[in-house]
Structure 1
């Protein structure tokens, strides 16, 4: 039990800004880390529903509540995944050879395409949440809240299963220290349960959101293999961001077309 608790602490310390008791980053304490990665999405999801509910309950203006909904994941994670999105955007937009793209991923400077991507990313989130919140669609927001776990399950599976672009990168180190088969199987079980709950909340919307996440996961694999020769920490963050934003847009569209 102590080992599992340490794995939990390491996962939250690495992928969130939530204060955690100290745990040494040993192989034993990172062995099942990815089994707990999706629970950061649970925190984001709970806060998302709480903000939406409080906004309706106390009559705050939609624009204010929508902005808070957009910022919840950033507050919880510190923007670690957005950093990967922006670095990957710069690398993909460079149209350089593979080795140069991998160098750009490590560059701490933000290029023009990273700035453009950041603007598009947050505007997309704002538009999707504005549609969901102003239409008082709490069921779709609940499905999106589960989507924060779905994206992390898929991201963890990608880290475990996909080839690594670099043998000395963060993702390669995490993969070496993790129990691949157990962690992968646990994440798959999570995905099945999450899909069932999403569909239970509203079948059409749940299927659309979950299917969209799987399609984006396929795009992530294609992009990682074609342009980088495997995945990296930045590419994992890139996937997680576009997966979540993609699910939000899908829910905004289908919940308006297929009203309960």
Structure 2
């Protein structure tokens, strides 16, 4: 059982998963474990900021589409686009069809290939379209969608950092957090997020939160397993791809549930 103070875990989570001015005081396996377990808390903050931007735009008279653009832009800004960059790199690596070593080298290159461009275009369009539909239904649905997508994106990272999932490289964020979260802790946290999300959604009159979270995590798990087969494990780019995939899936389910 980790004896890492909760504050160290929060510092690790916010310092590695956002651009907020938080100093990571510890960079060891225990701090990484606490940080990945705190990742959904980061999602609440990022999602809350995204919802706030969308609601502010609506209050100022903007259309649901513009509010959706604002909500989609906030997570990209707060992560300095790292998750989107990870999505693009992962798509390039998977799309290359090359052996693991060559695919990982492609992912480390600074440029974005055709598969990465296509992934970015379709994912961002899907997020904006889904948020626009949610905001068009009601302010509450749009705000809940922004928060849920933010939380489930980071919860997917917690699950990907569970014991038994290896790192594809010996260095980088993927290696720092790979396998640090005990499976029982990941399962317990997931159950807690599902229950709290369902109750909060029901209280706000927004239904479909539970299936949105479940489908998003299933999508992320399928992508994770594919990346493990192709690359031999996880990398920081794979974590970014998982986060964006889970967020998009959650938004799509919520928008269809309306």
Provide, for residues 159-179 of structure 1, a one-character-per-residue CA deviation record: whole Å limited to 9, x for no partner.
Answer: 223422425133222236x46
- Cα distance in 1 between the residues matched to 2:80 and 2:118: 20
- Which residue is equivalent to 2:120? 118
**Which residue is equivalent to 2:53?**
51
Cα distance change of structure 1 residues 243 and 2 upon mapping to structure 2, 3 Å threshold: closer
CA offsets, 1:103-123, max 9 Å, x none? 222222211221222222211
Q: CA deviation at 1:202?
A: 5.0
1:107 alignment counterpart: 109
Q: Which residue of 2 aligns with 1:215?
A: 218
Number of residue equivalences = 254
Given the superposition, is the C-alpha separation of residues 58 and 167 from structure 1 closer, same or farther in structure 2, using an over 3 Å criterion?
Answer: closer
Aligned-pair Cα RMSD in Å: 2.6
Residues 104 and 231 in structure 2, CA contact (< 8 A), matched pair in contact too: yes
* Cα deviation, residue 82, structure 1: 1.0
Q: Distance in 2 between matches of 1:192 and 1:212?
A: 11
Shift of 1:91: 0.7
Partner of 2:92: 90
Partner residue of 1:40?
A: 42
Contact 1:143 1:198 in 2 (8 A): no
Query: Taking structure 2 as the reference length, what is the TM-score of the superposition?
Result: 0.85
CA distance, structure 2, for counterparts of residue 247 and residue 100 of structure 1: 32
What's the CA shift for 1:64?
2.8
Query: In the superposition, relative to structure 1, how do residues 155 and 21 fare at CA in structure 2: closer, same or farther (>3 Å)?
Result: closer
Is the partner of 2:112 in helix, strand or coil? coil
Q: Work out which of the residue numbers 175, 191, 210 in structure 1 matches 2:178.
A: 175
Higher helix share: 1
CA distance in 2, matches of 1:211, 1:106: 31
Residues 227 and 234 of structure 2 are in contact (CA less than 8 Å); yes or no, is this contact kept in structure 1?
yes
Aligned counterparts of 1:182 and 1:206: Cα–Cα separation in 2: 23
The equivalences for 1:1-260 within 5 A come to 3-21=5-23, 23-139=25-141, 141-166=143-168, 168-169=170-171, 170-175=173-178, 178=180, 180=182, 183-184=185-186, 187-197=189-199, 200=202, 201=204, 204-255=207-258
Aligned-residue offset at 1:180: 3.2
Alignment check: 8 A CA contact 2:4 2:30 kept: no
